[in-house]
Structure 1
Amino acid sequence: MRLQAGQRFAAGEKTAVIAKNLRVSVRSVERWRRAWREGGMEALRSAGPANNPTVTDEQFAVLEEELGKGPSAYGFDDDRWTLARVQTVTRRRLRMSRPVTTVWRLLEVPPVCGRC
């Protein structure tokens, strides 16, 4: 979408028209236009999510080792790993805060439902 806006900037279109056509706020288009003026089309390319740094292979190995110790090593009452508990271990050991949905993807947990 930002690249489309960049093409329109180059064509001289007005900010309000671009915002309406792309169904975004005028403020967003103004921000994109500023980036475009300062860095061209390259400045409009996405660099990916800013708040979701990846877990390295080394960090994943540490997490595997920690999970191998079992939940009781972290003071949990029973021997069940839940996503919330894995999230806690990730925060404590790797010093990384991840939403439960990211923990789910990190562990590549298969669907519970046989039809899914």
Structure 2
Amino acid sequence: MRYSDRSGGLSAAERARREALRFRAADMFAGGIKPPWAAQLLGITRKSAYEWYAVWLKGGKAALVSKGAAGAGCKLTADQVERLKAELDRGAAAHGWDDQRWTAARVATVIAERFHIHYTARGVAYLLQRLGWSFQVPVHHATKRDEEQIQHWKRWTWPALKERGRPGVPGSASPMSPARA
């Protein structure tokens, strides 16, 4: 049996726990216990009990063995992953882009050029997440960042652009308020 999970799959311990639960259900089926009663005794849904029962009828207890973690796994070898990390640390500009932003599409291009392996943007996003890269927070500042110009803008330009709030008026927003008259 194979289970999916939104967070990327089940741990080995959780897969083993569920497999043991399926084996207990198979023993119950072999002893003549029907799926609804097995579901109640094991604390599982009737739907799961009936699915396991159908699998057990076709292939016995061996058909309920865990098939391991879902997914195809990483297409890159451990050595290639290390080389990719080194390429990413060099920065996007070192690979011909005009800034230092790594996007999933850019990383996919680097992987294709260096290792001749095709990754989708979503696949690259999963890979980068496993490598500990963040999608939200840039690691470095822009290469052309001018701190003096930024401070000047914050001190002089921003206050001039910032609108003042509405002047305070006594009363209420209600149309029936005597203050509006």
Provide the TM-score with structure 2 as the length reference: 0.42
TM-score (norm 1): 0.62
Counterpart AA for 2:59: G
Measured against aligned partners, the alpha-carbon deviations of 1:19-66 in whole angstroms (never above 9, x if no partner) come to: 111111111111101111111110011111223x3337x522212112
Map 1:49-88 → 2, pairs under 5 A: 49-51=69-71, 53-55=72-74, 59-71=77-89, 72-73=91-92, 77=100, 88=104
Q: 5+ residue gaps in structure 1?
A: 79-84, 106-116
Unmatched segments (≥5 aa) in structure 2: 1-20, 112-116, 133-181
Count of aligned residue pairs for this structure pair: 93
What's the secondary structure of 1:55's corresponding residue? coil
Equivalent position of 1:45 in the other structure? 65
Structure with greater helix percent: 1
TM-align CA RMSD: 3.1
Kindly report structure 1 stretches of 4+ aligned residues shifted beyond 2 Å. Answer: 53-56, 73-78, 91-100
Residue in 1 aligned with 2:7?
none
Give the 3-state SS of the residue equivalent to 2:77 in structure 1: helix
1:3 maps to which of 23, 28, 40: 23
CA separation in 2, counterparts of 1:12 and 1:104? Answer: 49
1:17 & 1:104 partners in 2: Cα distance? 46
Tell which has more relative contact order, 1 or 2 (C-alpha 8 A, sep 6+). 1
